[in-house]
Amino acid sequence: MSPQPRPSVLKIAPYVPGRASAGHAGKEHKLSSNENPLGPSPAARDAFIAAASALERYPDGGAAALREAIAKTYGLNAANIVCGNGSDEILGLIANAYLSPGDEAVFTQHAFLMYRIATLAAGGTPVVVDETDLAADVDKILDAVTPRTKLVFLANPNNPTGSYTSATEVRRLRDALPEGVLLVIDAAYAEYVRKNDYEAGIELAATRQDTIMTRTFSKIHGLAALRIGWAYASTEIIDTLHRVRGPFNVNAAAIAAGVAAIGDRAHVERAIAHNDRWLPELTTRIEAIGFRVPPSVGNFVLIDFASVDGADAAAADAFLGARGIILRRVAGYGLPQMLRMTIGDDEANEATIAALQAYRESLSAS
Ligand SMILES: *Cc1c(COP(=O)(O)O)cnc(C)c1O
């Protein structure tokens, strides 16, 4: 008989990343993982290459240079930052440190899949609450809180829905949650949001003992390959996470490239401007073809195939894949009739619009 892991581990469905290829012979456009179509800052690429000259040396285990650079950018205290091998790692550290068997972690119906995985891996119990119009509903979250609740995960904005929770609503949630419940605000797409009533969670994390904000270099900084995430919280919470993290969890190339990336504000502004141009344009043009696009504030949109007679997300995915366009199926997120499209470069976006138009025409023809 094989050694047996914790029972909850066997309930984990392994994370399925967005496809890297559709097996199409011609040019492919990968719009399946919310990667940055502009790539990273050239300065980050140079720093990564320079890091190759000292690969025999352990990295700085505390990633001090990276924490300082983040702190300077956002006006934070570097001592209240912890870095991770992607924010995915930090979500796992939080679950490991705060959940004991039987403890509950609350998150919403279409929330980022890592919350479920991190909770089960730590031996906790996932509690999934319904959303309202593809968005987190604070009252429904509060209704799900029990004496066993230790964590509430809130993706703000959420992936894959693209919806966000207003600053007022996040504060209402925080104020109504018991202080012993750690609120995890995952703000992976914060830089893209253009809404006056949005905040990433810095202030709550700075002023409360029971709230942590996580961020990533994988999206706006275009460094997904290097796996860099960070979190900001009270001294006690950060101290706890330092205890459970690997001693060298962020590698030297990641630290060097991260420092360079966050220092290149012009590149960040270019990435935001590209998104600002394409998010409304894609939404309008895909809706003009006939497919509903729920409002998104991120660097991606959902396309609702149930909104057109005869359309089907799996069939559309195959149709687009045959034309080299790789979107993300989100059936695993409880959205079987939708596909998620990352905002790509101009060519990829135009190709996707044309292919969606052709798919729509193929339906009327049959
Ligand atoms: C992409 C994403 C992350 C970032 O993950 P990394 O591990 O930092 O690459 C975190 N949360 C959400 C909701 C995401 O979509």
Q: Are residues 227 and 330 in the same domain?
A: no
Q: Are 40 and 306 a contacting pair, CB within 8 Å?
A: no
Among residues 216, 243, 264, the one where a domain terminates is 264
Residue with tokens 């909850």: 8
Q: From the CB of 283, is ligand 1 less than 6 Å away?
A: no
Closest CA to 123 of 146, 95, 150: 95
Q: Can you give the C-alpha Rg of the chain in angstroms?
A: 21
| Distance between CA atoms of residues 166 and 342, nearest Å | 23
What lies within 8 Å, CB to CB, of 123 at 6+ separation is 6, 8, 99, 100, 101
Q: From the CB of 218, is ligand 1 less than 6 Å away?
A: yes
Q: Are residues 12 and 59 in the same domain?
A: no
Q: From the CB of 298, is ligand 1 less than 6 Å away?
A: no
Q: From the CB of 35, is ligand 1 less than 6 Å away?
A: no
Q: Are residues 317 and 218 in the same domain?
A: no
Closest Cα to atom 15 of ligand 1: 159
Q: Are 230 and 70 a contacting pair, CB within 8 Å?
A: yes
pLDDT the model gives residue 366? 64
Ligand 1 atom nearest the C-alpha of 160 is: 15
Q: Are residues 26 and 92 in the same domain?
A: no
CB atoms within 10 A of CB 102: 10
Q: Are residues 227 and 349 in the same domain?
A: no
Closest Cα to atom 10 of ligand 1: 188
- How much is the pTM? 0.97
Q: Are residues 271 and 245 in the same domain?
A: no
Closest Cα to atom 14 of ligand 1: 188
Structure tokens at 166: 């207003």
Q: Are residues 280 and 194 in the same domain?
A: no
Q: Are residues 206 and 244 in the same domain?
A: yes
DSSP string, 319-361: HHHTTTEE-EE-GGGT-TTEEEEE---HHHHHHHHHHHHHHHH
CA angle, 192 then 198 then 222, to 5°: 20
Closest CA to 170 of 147, 193, 200: 200
Closest Cα to atom 3 of ligand 1: 188
| Distance between CA atoms of residues 110 and 160, nearest Å | 7
Give the domain CATH number at 33: 3.90.1150.10
| Distance between CA atoms of residues 344 and 286, nearest Å | 14
Q: Are residues 19 and 77 in the same domain?
A: no
Is residue 2, in this structure, part of any structural domain at all? no
| Distance between CA atoms of residues 36 and 358, nearest Å | 26
Per-residue pLDDT of the chain (366 residues; tens, 9 = 90+): 899 999 999 999 888 888 888 888 889 999 999 999 999 999 999 999 999 999 999 999 999 999 999 999 999 999 999 999 999 999 999 999 999 999 999 999 999 999 999 999 999 999 999 999 999 999 999 999 999 999 999 999 999 999 999 999 999 999 999 989 999 999 999 999 999 999 999 999 999 999 999 999 999 999 999 999 999 999 999 999 999 999 999 999 999 999 999 999 999 999 999 999 999 999 999 999 999 999 999 999 999 999 999 999 999 999 999 999 999 999 999 999 999 999 999 999 999 999 999 999 999 876
Mark out the alpha helices in 150-222 (DSSP H runs).
167-176, 202-207
Q: b/e per residue, 304-321, with b = 16+ CB within 10 A?
A: bbeebeebbbeebbebbb
Q: From the CB of 86, is ligand 1 less than 6 Å away?
A: yes
Going from the C-alpha of 11 to that of each of 60, 121, 336, the distances in angstroms are 36, 9, 21
Going from the C-alpha of 338 to that of each of 16, 282, 314, 316, 330, the distances in angstroms are 16, 16, 9, 10, 6
Ligand 1 atom nearest the C-alpha of 111 is: 13
pLDDT the model gives residue 21? 86
Mutate-to-test residue for ligand 1 from 159, 165, 216, 296, highest number of ligand atoms within 8 A of CB: 216
CB atoms within 10 A of CB 104: 20
Closest Cα to atom 12 of ligand 1: 188
Ligand 1 atom nearest the C-alpha of 229 is: 8
CA angle, 88 then 154 then 114, to 5°: 30
Q: From the CB of 88, is ligand 1 less than 6 Å away?
A: yes
Q: From the CB of 155, is ligand 1 less than 6 Å away?
A: yes
Is residue 65, in this structure, part of any structural domain at all? yes
Q: From the CB of 112, is ligand 1 less than 6 Å away?
A: yes
Residue with tokens 């984990």: 12
Is residue 1, in this structure, part of any structural domain at all? no
Closest CA to 332 of 12, 9, 10, 15: 15
Mutate-to-test residue for ligand 1 from 32, 33, 88, highest number of ligand atoms within 8 A of CB: 88
- Torsion-angle region of 34 (φ positive above 0: left; ψ -120 to 50: alpha; else: beta): left
Residue type, 344: G
Q: Are residues 330 and 252 in the same domain?
A: no
- Ligand 1 centroid to 90 CA: how many Å? 10
Q: Are residues 15 and 144 in the same domain?
A: no
Among residues 264, 283, 304, the one where a domain terminates is 264
Q: From the CB of 87, is ligand 1 less than 6 Å away?
A: yes
Q: Are residues 331 and 348 in the same domain?
A: yes
Among residues 244, 264, 284, the one where a domain terminates is 264
Q: From the CB of 233, is ligand 1 less than 6 Å away?
A: no
| Domain with 259 in it | 42-264
Q: From the CB of 254, is ligand 1 less than 6 Å away?
A: no
DSSP string, 216-254: ESSSTT--GGG-EEEEE--HHHHHHHHHHS-TT-S-HHH
- Ligand 1 centroid to 94 CA: how many Å? 15
Ligand 1 atom nearest the C-alpha of 218 is: 9
- Ligand 1 centroid to 188 CA: how many Å? 6
